[in-house]
A and B are shown apart, each in its own frame.
Chain A
Amino acid sequence: MPRWGMVIDLDKCTACQACTVACMAENNVPSAGPEGAKLDRSVHWQDVLTDLKEEGGGYPNFHVRFLPRPCLHCSDAPCVTVCPVRATYIDDEGLVRMDYDRCVGCRHCTTACPYAMRYFNWFPPDYSVGSTEYMNPQVPTRAVGVVEKCTFCIHRLEEAKRTAAAQGRDLTDADVVQLTACNEACPASARYFGDLDDPESTVSLLARNPRAFRLFEELGTEPKVYYLAEEKN
């Protein structure tokens, strides 16, 4: 059984936000609009955090770091433990999944997630004029009052499995390494997807790199997203 994970190379990331936009388009994430954004209600299954440090003397003497973030799909996920109805759960392949039709909207998972990667639907989704033509039929839209988050593009994963099965072969590393929408869109090829349990896969090789680290490892959540730290500071 594979254990899906991701590696993001921070040295390669240019903070172009292509991953963020690709994710929204792929997963039918509605825009919260300027009003919603002002109230901190925007939904981004994938976002890029920036850390700006002034080094004196104003522009251009800044040190800027970027941190692209999908859901980290923790192996010991705090959100899964607290869900009262098992609307969020870890499947056999290690993905932290959401059952939108069972979620009661108590938001205990959003308060329990130390990475703040879970989003609540404050209003019914607003697909403003025109955007419905670009909607992805493979991804369900979410109703008002439920929590949603990154799925590691599970619909693409299922499709890749079907394709491989139709061709009578096993899923290979090459099939999945650029599988998710964010990885596919990354112009710097900074992101890799794959099976962490396969010792030969790209992600497991990179995860063993001395530069590799995970966010808040000390919390014991065992995230399945690895970062490669910047070498040049």
Chain B
Amino acid sequence: MNDEQKLGKHAVLLKPLETTTSKEFVLTVVLLTAAILFGIGAYGYQLIVGVGVTGLNRPVSWGLYIVNCIYFIALSYGALLTSAVLRLINAEWRLPITRAAEGITACTLVIGAVNIVMDMGRPDRAMTIPLYAQFRSPIVWDFVWVSLYVTSSFIYLYLTLIPDIALLRDRYPHRKRFYRFLALGYTGTPKQKRLIRLAVNGMTIAIIPIAVTVCTVLAWLFALTVQPMWHSTLMGPYFVIGAVFSGIGILIFTLAVLRRLFNLHNYIKYEHFRKLGYLLLVMSFIWFYFTVADYITTLYGNDPAHMAVFDAKISGEFAVQFWAQVLFCFVLPCIIVIVPRFRTVRGLTIAGLSANAGMWLERVLIIVPTLARPRMPIGWGYYMPTWVEWSVMLACVAGIGLFYVIFVKFFPIISIWELEEAEAKEQQAAEARCIELENAGTRSAEAA
């Protein structure tokens, strides 16, 4: 069969779907599930006793939950935008990495959105927000926009999955019911192919503005108040840039893990890491530029309320976090990407993780110092998360990991149909070139 022949070449991509019971796999799932259960327990404790079990207090009434919510949603957005933009400009080298990026989007997005609910004092009243929405509130915009974003990014991921699901349906009769339901009767007729390409292209174009605005609206949660160092026009773009930066970082890390685990060296090549590394470098520079622009404007404005926050970050209570952020977001990634000796897969993975550590610290530094230095001289506050918040955060990370592991087990991590399409196109082009060469040869022979 034609299908079988083709798959022979890409069989390695389906291997993770076929070998499910390795010892490492079971251990990973058990550990991740344990961490998640512990986090759920911690949150249950918070639900019963009150939000007071967190380290939050009067001036600092937003903390780790909001930080993680922003960080995870930004991560999802960064991965999605990388995939969508590369698809839009039709960069051929993107093919083996888009599915991995879209997987990150789906996993982190859900976890990020859950963090909003966990921050609420009355999660039992969450439905009040859609029912009695007050449309001047940035939280309502967030609610609407994050919902739209969740929906559209899942549709986008699903659309690109359909042809591969159809392939799995034909290949695995024992899981037929599951895949047949998801494949929506896709059989690969020319009409279906045309429609799916049309839908994917449409979603690619639609998802980019949605993703940019969702991050901006998240930033407006802060920028639309009058609080020192929040109230800034830069906040929206700063969040967008930071999101792409951390998204690319986590994508590099994920690709390195996948490649190592599933032996995908023929698909995910050094070339991909190098190109993503360059993107990371560009984002790191833009991040640095935005940071300098923001801080120097504050410094020269010299407003005492703003300067209190500025000093707390640069040289005060939060100085360690601040300079660690600069190190992780700018110094380390730049050195690793620029110096050829460090620009290995391992080096770039470290750069990606470093970018994420830095971006997480940046979210902390945006949210906490402003609250800890209120404009009203009611006394300076400080914030240190308690074990409850740390456990929930650990559970969130474990949740993302578990979702991703499950995703990898049920769907091929590299888009097979797009790969085949590209190969077919290449073959066609090669054949055309051969014919042309032949023709040219005969023509020149005739002329001679």
Contacts and interface: CB of A to CB of B under 8 A. Distances in A.
Partners in one complex: yes
Contact of B376 (A110, A112, A116, A144): A116
Interface string B40-79: 0000000001111000111101100000000000000000
A131 to B, nearest CB: 19
Given A84-B140, A114-B376, A104 B122 contact: yes
Contact of A107 (B61, B134, B136): B61
Interface in B328-385: 371, 374-379, 381
B134 A111 contact: no
Contacts of B133: 84-85
Given A39-B57, A84-B139, A122-B50, A145 B122 contact: yes
Given A41-B57, A105-B122, A111-B61, A144 B226 contact: no
A102 B227 contact: no
Contact of B139 (A41, A82, A146, A219): A82
A221 B231 CA distance: 15
A102 B62 CA distance: 20
Contacts of B59: 40, 116
Given A102-B125, A110-B61, A116-B376, A86 B227 contact: no
A41 B59 CA distance: 9
A103 B225 CA distance: 19
A62 interface: no
Contacts of B378: 49, 116
B227 A114 contact: yes
A219 B381 CA distance: 22
B224 interface: yes
B50 A145 contact: yes
A127 interface: no
Contacts of B120: 104-106, 145
A38 B119 CA distance: 22
A103 B58 CA distance: 17
Interface residues of B, number: 40
Contacts of A84: 129, 133-134, 137, 139-140, 143
A188 B129 CA distance: 45
Interface in A14-33: none
A107 B66 CA distance: 11
Given A82-B224, A84-B140, A112-B227, A145 B375 contact: no
A83 interface: yes
A81 B137 CA distance: 6
B62 A107 contact: yes
Contacts of B377: 49, 51
Given A40-B381, A105-B121, A78 B221 contact: no
Nearest to A101: B125
B44 to A, nearest CB: 15
B237 interface: no
B126 interface: yes
Interface in A112-150: 112, 114-116, 119-124, 144-147
A119 B58 contact: yes
Nearest to A51: B377
Given A102-B125, A104-B129, A115-B376, A144 B136 contact: no
A146 B125 CA distance: 11
A41 B133 CA distance: 29
B300 interface: no
Contacts of B58: 40-42, 110, 116, 119-120
A156 interface: no
Nearest to A221: B226
B126 A144 contact: no
Q: For A103, A116, A124, A219, which residue has the most chain B Cβ atoms within 10 angstroms?
A: A116
A115 B121 CA distance: 21
5 contacts: A42-B58, A81-B224, A102-B132, A104-B120, A122-B56
Given A40-B58, A104-B128, A108-B137, 6 more contacts: A83-B137, A104-B125, A107-B62, A116-B378, A121-B121, A122-B56
